[in-house]
Chain A
Amino acid sequence: MLEPVMFTGGLYKHDLVIELVEDLGGYVLQKNVTQSEVILLILIPSEDKPVLESQIKELRGELVRAPLAGTEVAVVTPTLAIHHLPHTACDIAEYLRRHGSKTNMIGLARGVGQEIAQINEYETSLINEHDAAVFIFGNFKECIRRKESLYRNINVPVVVTGGPEIAKAEMPYAFEYVSSVGRVAHRARKATEIGVLDRIVDAVGRALDKTRAEMAKDPLTTSPPRVMDAVREQVPDVEFSYSPLPIALNLNGLRVKLPYDSYKDAVRAVAFDEGVKLGEIATVRPSRMKDYILVRILPASETGFVF
């Protein structure tokens, strides 16, 4: 069982951590260097965690659990106008990032209003490429209830946030509803406000656990981090992508940030030690995000084997 953790520490000798993780059979998902500090998102076999902990203690670094690592969460606001941004949306997105998730902020084109709120096919399928979505709504019960049409057709679990208390039974299409957020014109700074952000992270964690439990019934042919490692090794151009995270992981696949037309064959041809190619165990198709490549790993029931 791989455990998601986050390492924060000095740049000096941090490559020892990376080497150790690779030797233990773990994966480095993301590396962020900010001046003399480095943040690593790591998947490590849980039985080897003490070894990593002692190494990090020696380097005077910090190791915390990052429950959302290796997942991608969409933070959706009705539009990108000043009414919804920056305060609530950025606070939530930033807080999810601190817990290890890759967070994308999505502003709908016409998500505002009670009767005029709408979402189009492109927005829906873009949100469906994520592992979970957080919808940020306002302060009035009636408005939140009427905005249900925005997330009714979304296949991934949706955590809805808003101001007032609303019984879960009134929102059948939401995975969970987190109250006390709503529309505010200042940043979250009080303890109660930070507490609400924790509740959102917990709700997203539960949503992802539900997806994981569903996937465990029909496991993927191979794990996304393993595919990521293989793509990184065999399609070296991906390291030259201008994105801060050239390969974004999902629970059921990954997104390779290279142009689809020029690199789809290279990605399909990525080979594993077991003798199979990526094209045989996964679908490789264009992502709705820019012209990236979306890889979805097929479950064991379709390929007939797991490695």
Chain B
Amino acid sequence: MRLHDIAHARTGDKGDTSNISLIAYDPADWPALRDRITPQRVAAHFGTFPAEAMTRYELPQLQALNFVIRGALAGGVTRSLALDAHGKCLASVLLEMELPAED
């Protein structure tokens, strides 16, 4: 099962920092997101930044996680050579991730 099947997401950018929200459609899926979508696993999925560059915040009443990734945008929208300099596409890339099996 991919995250896309149980959650939605949105990317925002400030300078060279990207933030990606990850929100469960069904509150029943919240514990799986909270327990299994760790910064280490997200970093491994993207393969472009280390887990240490990321801080994860939890909003249980909204069944939402917020991943804040420093240095994720190749210098930020103003200097980046990337086609998607804002990193708008990154949320959808996160939703491609397979939900890891229960620990």
Partners in one complex: no
Instruction: List chain B positions with a Cβ less than 8 A from chain A.
Output: none
Instruction: List chain A positions with a Cβ less than 8 A from chain B.
Output: none
